[in-house]
A and B are shown apart, each in its own frame.
Chain A
Amino acid sequence: MTRWLSPPALFLPVGVVLVLLALYPMIATGYGLRVMLQLFMWIALAQSWNVISGLTGYVSFGHVAFFGTGAYTGAILMTRLDLSWLSASLAGGVAAAVLALAIGWPCLRLKGPYFAIAMLGLNEVLRVAASYFEGLTGGGLGLSLPTLHASEPLYYAMGAVAVAVTALTFAIVTSRFGLRLMTIREDEVAAEAMGIDTFRYKLYAFVLSAVGPGIVGSLAARDQGYIEPISVFPLITTITMIVMVLFGGKGTIWGPVLGATVLFSFQEMVWAHFIYLHQLLFGAIIVAVVLAMPRGILGVLQQKYNLPRTL
């Protein structure tokens, strides 16, 4: 009865949506294009967090560190070496992956709350480092990029990253690799006993989860035209991606897309009217999501209607 939700059956509607999104710039206003671009950014970020934390259960409480690393790598390459934004953003992804490898190697041995704290610390330290190495990063003054002439190429690039990260999640969830990650989430000791090299697979997942935010960070830096330590390493960005994933459904394929779309639309439509209260409202939303629906929309639906795991 749930065949209409199985992956091949979803190809058609997903394809239609993608075609419509690809045609959108023909009719879009500048504002509309930038809103969609940001939505793609949030989908890519939420989906990436889902790869490490949704699938393995290791809470990366400082995932914005990879976003910021990508942003700085990209911005430095674009301003100092005059690299094109496309190659700079790929370099941003590579830099984030290298950082994930270096940090994951010690930190993924830590369990539960200790890993979360170590990741929170990483983000704090990178922010301090970005302000400290003034020669390279411009310190607290930040870096300004040359004026951007057209948003369309960035729109397609950001959209491509969002699609790629979602496709990656699909590929992971439907593979043996994904099964191993989910076994680690359910019971790491048992996974180890079954012969899974848990540390290695956690590290793979962690590095994969860093690439997307790295590229997206660099693209966002290009889009905004200016970055500073506070703007690319805020804890609230990590929290926002987590809440989006939680809202949509942790560990699912479409949950992060759904969560990012709903929460981002809500933010665009509602928060603009409550400038002084929006942190309070966001706090209330977080508390409500954690208390009322920790499994998220898709999690609840999956349980209730016995939907396929690959949703």
Chain B
Amino acid sequence: MTVITPTMIGQVVISGLLAGSLYAMVALGLGLIFGVMRVLNVAHGPILMLGAYVTFWLFSTVGLNPYLSLLVSMPLLFALGVLLQRTLVRRVVDAPELSSLLLTFGLSIAIVNLAQLGFTSDLRAVEFMTGSFVLGPFAFSKSRVIACLFAVAITTGAFLFLQKTRVGKAIRAVSQSREVAQVCGIDVQSIHMLAFGLASALAAAGGSLVAVMVAIQPEMGAIYTFKSFLVIVLGGAGNYPGALLGGLLLGLVEQLASLFLTTQVNEAVAYILLVVVLLVRPTGILGGRAS
């Protein structure tokens, strides 16, 4: 058993927050879809995967800076999200969770299969930035720090949008009560499409940012779907600040688990955390909707 020093704990806490900020951003998208439409979107991870491929292809063909590719991947997948909502997902809005889970699972395997056909299953990497920042006793991988900064900026932007703009207020109104929002003259159908588009753009941003850090392959998305589910349940489904808290918490717990146990079990630890939270507070830490 190795001795665990305060420096190690500090390092782990910071790494956890770096990873958590990405989880929070991606899960905010999933939470938005659930909050506005009561749809559990299993295809969220595969959309993230598409975002990573956009970055990879732009980098490997025209040498575009991976961080600039956010400007392409986010609008592109926003459009795909709007299209998916408009054509398919709108039909399971408000249906029992089984319908939305199955429909989006069907979409999910179709997207992954198309990616395998189009991009092959080869592992791809964007070799853009290596090395670390060193600060006193701590060292942080550059790509993770920059990804965290982007995630914080994008998440803040999304929050300001939800909080301050008229459209953002309309989105929150629809997630509080669709009927009342409709009576107030809000075009609920457009809000649904917009929310799905925004959520897909957030997933795409996640994909573009992780493209620099991990191997890119068609099945990389599933783990992010799973983590995003954990995050929105931890924070309270339909509760947007809760998604942030849940994301940071998940990042921290995973890193602490890998320090005290091993990296292989961090999913299991996160799951146990989830079950405990659900038992103590069935609607999540910050409270969400019962169903």
Contacts and interface: CB of A to CB of B under 8 A. Distances in A.
A160 interface: no
A107 interface: yes
Contact of B106 (A53, A129, A276, A283): A283
Interface string A122-137: 1011001101100000
Interface residues of B, number: 44
Interface stretch (B20-28, B68-76, B92-100, B146-154): B92-100
A113 B291 contact: yes
A289 B91 CA distance: 12
B178 to A, nearest CB: 17
A280 B113 contact: yes
A16 to B, nearest CB: 35
A121 B101 contact: no
A122 B113 contact: no
Given A111-B291, A113-B291, A291-B91, A121 B110 contact: no
Classify the interface of chain A: helix, strand, loop or mixed: helix
Interface in A262-311: 276-277, 279-280, 282-287, 289-291, 294
A271 to B, nearest CB: 12
A290 to B, nearest CB: 5
B105 interface: yes
Contacts of B116: 276, 279
Interface string B106-118: 1111101110110
Given A109-B282, A280-B113, A239 B102 contact: yes
A236 B112 CA distance: 13
Contact of B110 (A236, A242, A280): A280
A235 B282 CA distance: 25
B290 interface: yes
Interface size class of A (residues with CB under 8 A): 35 or more
B253 interface: no
Contacts of B110: 279-280, 283-284, 287
A114 B38 CA distance: 12
A124 B226 contact: yes
B108 to A, nearest CB: 7
A112 B291 contact: yes
B285 interface: no
Given A120-B229, A121-B274, A122-B271, A128 B97 contact: no
B265 interface: yes
Interface in A235-251: 235-236, 239, 242-243, 246
A120 B271 CA distance: 10
Contacts of B278: 106-107, 110, 114, 118
Interface string B59-101: 0000000000000000000000000000010011001111101
Contacts of A72: none
B92 A290 contact: yes
A233 B237 CA distance: 27
A121 B103 contact: no
A116 B116 CA distance: 28
B19 interface: no
Nearest to B223: A124
Nearest to B39: A113
A217 to B, nearest CB: 20
Contacts of B117: 276-277
B282 A242 contact: no
A114 B291 contact: yes
Interface string B213-249: 0000000001000100110010001000000000000
Interface string A152-166: 000000000000000
A205 interface: no
Nearest to B265: A132
A118 B275 contact: yes
A128 B110 CA distance: 25
A128 B99 contact: no
A117 interface: yes
A59 B101 contact: yes
A239 B101 CA distance: 10
14 contacts: A59-B96, A106-B275, A106-B279, A113-B34, A114-B282, A116-B97, A116-B101, A124-B226, A235-B105, A242-B98, A282-B109, A286-B102, A286-B109, A291-B103
Interface of A: 53, 57, 59, 61, 106-107, 109-114, 116-118, 120-122, 124-125, 128-129, 131-132, 235-236, 239, 242-243, 246, 276-277, 279-280, 282-287, 289-291, 294
Q: Which 9 A-B residue pairings sit nearest by Cβ, starting from the closest?
A: A286-B106, A283-B110, A112-B291, A279-B113, A283-B106, A287-B106, A280-B113, A113-B97, A283-B109
